A and B are shown apart, each in its own frame.
Chain A
Amino acid sequence: MFDVLVEMFSYPFLVRAVIVGALVSLCAALLGNSLVLKRYSMIGDGLSHVGFGALAVATAFGWAPLAVSIPLVVLAAFLLLRLSDNSKIKGDAAIAMISTGSLAVGVIVLSLTTGMTTDVCNYLFGSILAMNKTDVYMSMVLSIVVIVIFLLFYHKIFAVTFDETFARATGVKAGGYNMLLAFLTAITIVLGMRMMGAMLISSLIIFPALTAMRLCKTYRSVILCSVVVSLICFFIGVVVSYLYAMPTGASVVMVNILAFGIFAAIAAVKGKVKKPA
């Protein structure tokens, strides 16, 4: 086992991928709790599709992928929140519209320029080779920003998540914190998307939170547990994908599903089965 790890980390691209992946897993787990509890899980999924469209356009024009996709996805996040608040088009329908729309744009742009090559497959399902040095530095800085902001506003995020009406009534700017949450989610999704794949990145946000909620009873313990679960699942996933030459993103998701199953089983054995959130 140890030999495998040494061998793995002798490849610089794998070291980069593991650093970025671990940071993204951490951010995703932190944010995922609030998103799942606020019934915003689908926003993560919608944003990853917007990210796919943005990546395709950036590649077609030869622009830096992160510099193009981060502002676009942040914009889409704010738009989705607006639509969720506005009752004319319901939140889930709005997300479906925007996500399929950007997927279509992305596919058309790609087929007109580079053609439907393995690149497309990499965008959709992730590639561990996608990270260059600039990406790594940018991911590290942005992940740290996400983590620091989350810690600074931890109590307010809890209050807005638990009871938005009460928070608003006592003068907390709940709308602002929803925006903040959407903003941080957008950044996390773009950072993780190329490794995990546009189709799979939202699982990093949803699974650790749901897994932790099977067993933990306070908000703080759910957050801590989901972070630990997320990191462990990511490492196991990467090692498994290396050993059996499987796609990294999909392996990480599979390990997350297993972890969820184990936690749910333990909860069931304890006789405290809860309705899925």
Chain B
Amino acid sequence: MALITCHDTAFGYEGHPVVSHLNFSLNTGDYLCVMGENGAGKSTLIKGILRLIKPMAGTLETGDGLLPSEIGYLPQQTAAQKDFPAGVEEVVYSGFLNRRGLRPFYSRAEKQTAATLMEQLGISHLKKSCYRELSGGQQQRVLLARALCATSKLLLLDEPVSGLDPVATQELYRLIGDINHTTGITIIMVSHDVRSAVEHASHILHLKNAQQFYGTAHDYVATNLGQTFLGGHADV
């Protein structure tokens, strides 16, 4: 059974659909890139999958025993976080909160998991640092570690590379690809970067307030849509 299935689904705010006619299904271990121009409904779809907003039409089903609390999420950064005094460890540990119920403190096993994840993402030397003093790429890796603390099944990333320099961008794509290959975590990423998306993802979903394309990355390249975007006319 598929991990996520949309049947003619629509999402929006205050009665106005932002994105509609979604029909796709995603299997465990897939790596989906959601493409589209600004305002195409990419972030709205992510909020829908996270169940922060309800479908206005159609259905969104989850399979393979996926619970809402088992989704890891890497949101777009907010302005408030830029001057927030938080230690790297504190931020990473907060990923465990959804599993802890009312237990007030973190367990040794959780701290060990977090340490392993920070090691894998190459940020263990930063664990005593202040989050707001890190570079953009380092901050994203800290938030990625937090998201991975929250999930072992599905990772949602909302424009994780925006604002990063080319080196940090490639590094983050490599890390996300590695996570997908080695652990089999399903990945849904919103991105503007068509070239990297086609290179790393297994599937592409192209939105323009409705579904324009859904299929494998290989098929996407062959379509007119894919060619237009890869041709450099859009925001590549």
Contacts and interface: CB of A to CB of B under 8 A. Distances in A.
Asked if A and B are interacting partners, one says yes
Interface of A: 37-39, 151-156, 158-159, 161-163, 165-172, 213, 216-222, 274-275, 277
Contacts of B93: 155
A152 B98 CA distance: 15
Interface string B99-113: 010101110000000
B146 A169 contact: no
B78 interface: yes
Nearest to B91: A162
Interface string B17-59: 0000000000000000000000000000000001010000000
Contacts of A169: 50, 52, 71, 73, 75, 156
Most chain B CB inside 10 Å of its own CB: which residue of A153, A166, A216: A166
A162 B86 contact: yes
Nearest to A222: B85
B68 interface: yes
Interface of B: 50, 52, 68-69, 71-73, 75, 78, 80-81, 83-87, 90-91, 93-95, 97-98, 100, 102, 104-106, 129-130, 133, 146-147, 150, 156
B133 to A, nearest CB: 7
Contacts of B84: 37, 161-162
Contacts of A219: 85-87, 90
Given A151-B104, A152-B104, A217-B130, A170 B86 contact: no
Contacts of A221: 85, 87
A169 B84 CA distance: 20
A154 B81 contact: no
A155 B104 contact: yes
B87 A170 contact: no
A155 B72 CA distance: 18
Nearest to A172: B97
Nearest to A223: B85
A32 to B, nearest CB: 13
Nearest to B88: A218
Contact of B75 (A156, A163, A218): A163
A272 to B, nearest CB: 9
A168 B178 CA distance: 27
Contact of A162 (B94, B100, B129, B130): B94
A44 to B, nearest CB: 17
A162 B50 contact: no
Contacts of A275: 83
A172 B98 contact: yes
Given A217-B130, A217-B133, A275-B83, A167 B104 contact: no
Contacts of B97: 155-156, 159, 167, 170, 172
A170 B85 contact: no
B86 to A, nearest CB: 5
B86 A218 contact: yes
Given A162-B84, A170-B98, 8 more contacts: A37-B84, A39-B80, A155-B97, A161-B84, A170-B69, A217-B87, A218-B85, A219-B85
Contacts of B106: 155
B94 A155 contact: yes
